[in-house]
Chain A
Amino acid sequence: MKTNSPAGTKTLTTKVLIIGGGVTGTGVMRDLALRNISSILIDQHDLNSGASGSNHGLLHSGGRYAAKDRDTAIECRVEGEILKRVASNCIDPCGGMFVAVDGDDLDFASQFPDHCQAAGISCTPLSPSQAMEREPSLTKKIVAAYEVADATIDPFRLTLESVNHAMELTDSFYMPHTRVEAFEIGDGEIRAALCRDGRSGEQIRIEAEEVVNAAGAWAMRVARLAGCNNVNLLYSKGTLIISNSRMSSGVINRLRPPGDGDILVPGGTVSLLGTTSATIENPDRITPTVDEVDRILAEGTDMVPSLADARFIRAFAGVRPLLMASGHGGDGREASRGFALFDHKEQNLRNFATVTGGKLTTFRLMAERVGDLIAKRLGSSAPCKTAVVPLPSGPAICWTEPGFSARDWYARQDPTDRILCECEMVSESSIDSIINEAPGSEADMSVKAISLRSRVGKGSCQGAFCSIRVTSYLYDKGIYSSEAGLAHLRDFVKERFKGVRPVLWGAHVAQMELAEALHCDLMGLDLK
């Protein structure tokens, strides 16, 4: 890779440019690196800022799709089995069950085992008392229950490990806050991508032999920048809420056609309840609403009554990029969960590919298909290795795991390693590790970037104290040296608030009052 700067614009050269730092884009980056092909990965924000970072972290057994979409169900089962082998450090094989409660469609429930069998998905019937024994928080009104091999996966750790591995294997690298604005096209190929650094405003020209569009919900826009109008997506907004404690030991799915509050997924020390589905026009700047939260909760309470008294620390919303088949209606729940790879031959482009749709569970397969296409185009015969080579952990990657920083801190036995975030026990040394070693850390570090790579701001105080302490610490470390640091703090708490707003009731309102007193009365963030 070389760098030169004709006429003030920085030009970078690479084999493959990958657009989109979600699970698919980072998966492609690693897939190619394992074939000894280097790449530059860019994202308009940072890792997992789209659907990859705003889902329930479920590794599907396939049961959810068994009735309606057998192909996807089989893909989920196969991929789930592979990932449990190669990405075990990102996965909690907690198991799961499907339960129908009094009033649910019994026909639908009774057909479930047959559908599972047809897709090769293991499904064991449980009596209501067996189900209750496994998940004591379940309602007593269970009418049917089946055990399946659901698991959970930490998508943040997954992308961090993928990027880290790719960077270890090759001279690939990752650039956050880099958005494609246009492509230079000539003679049937993309010659360069014209990008802009969202922080500095600087223009960057990236020359690559191949360009992969893995921009998820933004893939349609990126394809259009290259003159390709054949990628048509339906944007489906999904909202979830996070409780401040773990409500179940495994995944609990509602056994009925998909609805709003039909899945409760554990995520380390917390649980995630979801998910709504609403078709929207624009994938940018979506926020969870009070109405969505109330609907999810009302539905979820039918399955797990104690949710009614649980404390929720945050809600979040993501956009599913769903593939619009021609002549298809506009319902997000009916649309396919499958993925598609476009080689753009018909649009007369030799070196461009778009991959979108799909699911977190199938990201590896999506990356494999892209890798096969790109390798072939580049004349490489190296096979895909992601199904066999385990994903190694790397430095500064473990910090997204709930509870890890606390264990690390106790193990260190170092009283001078001061805690910056008391809810999640994130200490100064873990922040140092992220600043120095985490993937993406070579770029501009901020409270937000640290939060993405750790548990900072994710505990029950939702950043009231730790955001201020971490900001001061970043000033002390020389990461911040101007008013920009305070602006980053302001942006961070503003962003956090969007997720907190719809779950503000009960004790959380008192917490918010305190946060506002700290951010405004003590820090004056509203005055500047």
Chain B
Amino acid sequence: MIRETRKIKSQLAIIGTGLAGLAAGIFATEQGIKTTQVGHTGSVTYTTGYLDLFGSLSGQQYSDPWQGVDELKKEYPNHPLCQIDREEINVAMSLFVEKLTEMGVGYLKPGSKNLDALLPSGVCKPTISMPLTMAAGIRAKKTNASTLIIDFIGLQGFSGVEFVANLKPSWPELSNKRLQFPGMESGQQLFPEVMARSLEVPENRRKLAELIKPLINGFEYLGLPAILGIHLPDEVHREMEGLLGIKVFEIPTMPPSVAGIRLREIFEQRFPAQLITLIPQHKVEKLELTDGGARLFFKDPFGDVEIESQAVILATGRFLSGGLAAGQQSIRESLLNIPVSQPKGRDDWYSEKYFAPEGHGINRAGVEVDDNFRPLDEDGRPLSNRLFAIGTVLANQDWVRQRCGAAISISTAYQAVKRVAGLILDSTIDSPGKSGKISSPAR
């Protein structure tokens, strides 16, 4: 059998299907850019579901994210969030949340203050937006409402006792009960994804509600691990509240998390197919820059595939997703060997203390970009006018410690897509472009 390389032509190629890639895909579709997107969707299932703007710097937590960003500008002026106007970050976050909500996973509209997001440990973290299914927890905690936390036999790493023990000092009206999940009473290990899919069946919701009902006398709120459905969580949530007659909220679980799977699946299933060609669970093996854009190569079960594209957005993530790779002595970028700014030697990668408030040097390593989010070569010049890098592959940020992962991913995606639109839509005669919500920058 002779195998032919199949070719795909595209205006934009997005490499990566994590949060940054997802945001770029959404913004590109908004702009009417014909896009091909390739990537592994592993890391998105590690998310709690919370969308952070900016929450913490060097051990200091901020209830006002912008106050945090002002401090950030003093300490890390090259942080990606310091390169983008506050208004642009807000627009990008709001648009992203609006689109997720439209596609069926409702999120709170980002406000100007951070929210107190509940973690399964009973610790709270500052975040700017969260799934609607989790939102009631904020008020429950704030008002010390009498709240019942339910956990399930077999669901590991989620203990109602632990949650309550750690929150009790600030939330005395909190208690917990353990149940068997209906239809999964064998005592074997349970997985949040399986439980969530089960709750998409109305009958299973009723069974669960029947089990909970006798326990909720006198309680105002009910907290559950995040298992309220995958595809229409808001509907499942609304119905559970109706069945129980009290407010219900979800709490994130260990990965693979339902909150992350929801994002992955709306992305895979609800994206307008006429504009975006999604190739999930594949990894680009080679990327060649050309005068007119780039060529991407990968293999699928039917053979070799080549994508020819007028612009490329790298949203390849860090070490876990494979965007960066660490040798024994130095760190490199995986696809194009783009220079990576990094600490001098391995001894400086990690601080001696795991929880050092300033974080680890290696977390601030990454790809350097110019004002237009184009990666820079050794001499500080853009590698290409048509190559952009977004998300956590970027240098000078520490998304985990600073609680700013979503804002970096979404706002850099927004900026890069804006540049791509400027490049492509204005120079292509037969552009399928419509007047999107994103204004093209003046050229």
Contact = CB atoms under 8 A, between A and B. Distances in A.
B156 A524 contact: no
A485 interface: yes
Given A469-B157, A504-B349, A510-B319, A528 B354 contact: no
5 contacts: A501-B350, A517-B320, A522-B121, A523-B120, A524-B124
Given A418-B189, A505-B346, A465 B254 contact: yes
A118 interface: no
A326 interface: no
A416 B186 contact: yes
Interface string B348-379: 01101111010010110000000000000000
A525 B165 contact: no
A480 interface: yes
Interface in A287-306: 287, 289-291, 294
Interface in A502-517: 504-506, 509-510, 512-514, 516-517
A510 B252 CA distance: 22
B119 A522 contact: yes
Interface in B298-350: 318-320, 322, 326-329, 345-347, 349-350
A527 B122 CA distance: 11
B218 interface: no
Contact of A526 (B120, B320, B401): B401
B156 A415 contact: no
Given A416-B188, A527-B125, A513 B318 contact: yes
A475 B162 contact: yes
Given A420-B156, A501-B352, A520 B400 contact: yes
Interface string B107-142: 000000000000111111100000000000000000
A287 B159 contact: no
B254 A505 contact: no
A471 interface: yes
Contacts of B320: 510, 513-514, 517
B432 interface: no
Contact of A485 (B119, B162, B327): B162
A475 B158 CA distance: 10
A522 B165 contact: no
Contact of A517 (B165, B347, B400): B400
Nearest to A478: B161
A486 B122 contact: yes
B273 to A, nearest CB: 32
B166 A483 contact: yes
For the residues of B in contact with A, the DSSP-based class is loop
Given A505-B328, A517-B46, A415 B123 contact: no
A520 B326 contact: no
A486 B56 contact: no
B187 interface: yes
B295 to A, nearest CB: 27
Contact of B347 (A287, A290, A512, A524): A290
B290 to A, nearest CB: 31
B411 interface: no
B409 interface: no
Contact of A527 (B123, B322, B347): B123
B198 interface: no
Interface stretch (A2-10, A97-105, A489-497): A489-497
Nearest to B351: A501
Given A416-B154, A522-B254, 19 more contacts: A290-B347, A415-B187, A418-B189, A465-B254, A481-B165, A485-B165, A494-B353, A494-B355, A497-B353, A498-B354, A504-B346, A506-B327, A506-B328, A514-B46, A514-B320, A516-B363, A522-B48, A525-B355, A527-B56
A423 interface: no
Contacts of B355: 490, 494, 520, 525-526
B146 interface: no
Nearest to B347: A290
Given A418-B154, A514-B320, A486 B186 contact: no
A36 interface: no
A524 B187 contact: no
Given A468-B157, A486-B122, A514-B46, A475 B165 contact: yes
A414 to B, nearest CB: 9
B183 interface: no
Nearest to A297: B328
Interface in A464-489: 465, 468-469, 471-473, 475-476, 478, 480-483, 485-486
A101 B56 CA distance: 54
A204 interface: no
Interface string B386-428: 0000000000000011010100000000000000000000000
Bin chain B's interface residue count: 35 or more
A59 interface: no
Contacts of A504: 326, 346, 349-350, 362
Interface string A269-311: 0000000000000000001011100100000000000000000
A313 interface: no
Contacts of A521: 48, 125, 400, 403, 405
Nearest to A416: B187
A17 interface: no
Interface string B160-200: 01100110010000000010000000111100000000000
Given A287-B352, A472-B158, A418 B362 contact: no
A518 interface: yes
Given A416-B188, A514-B320, A521-B48, A486 B350 contact: no
Given A472-B159, A481-B161, A485-B165, A505 B327 contact: yes
Given A476-B161, A480-B165, A486-B166, A523 B188 contact: no
A527 B46 CA distance: 19
A486 to B, nearest CB: 6
Given A290-B346, A509-B319, A524 B165 contact: no
B384 interface: no
A418 B188 contact: yes
Residue in A490, A514, A527 with the greatest tally of chain B CB atoms within 10 Å = A527
What are the 3 closest A-B residue pairs judged by CB atoms, nearest first?
A416-B187, A524-B123, A497-B354
Residue in A468, A498, A509 with the greatest tally of chain B CB atoms within 10 Å = A509
Contact of B319 (A478, A513, A520, A522): A513
B354 A418 contact: no
A509 B334 CA distance: 14
Nearest to A483: B166
B119 to A, nearest CB: 5
Contacts of B63: none
A419 interface: yes
B46 to A, nearest CB: 6
Contact of A469 (B123, B156, B357, B400): B156
Given A486-B122, A486-B162, A526-B355, A506 B156 contact: no
B61 interface: yes
Contacts of A522: 48, 119-121, 252, 254-255
Interface string B253-277: 0110000000000000000000000
Contacts of B322: 510
A524 B159 contact: no
A516 B162 contact: no
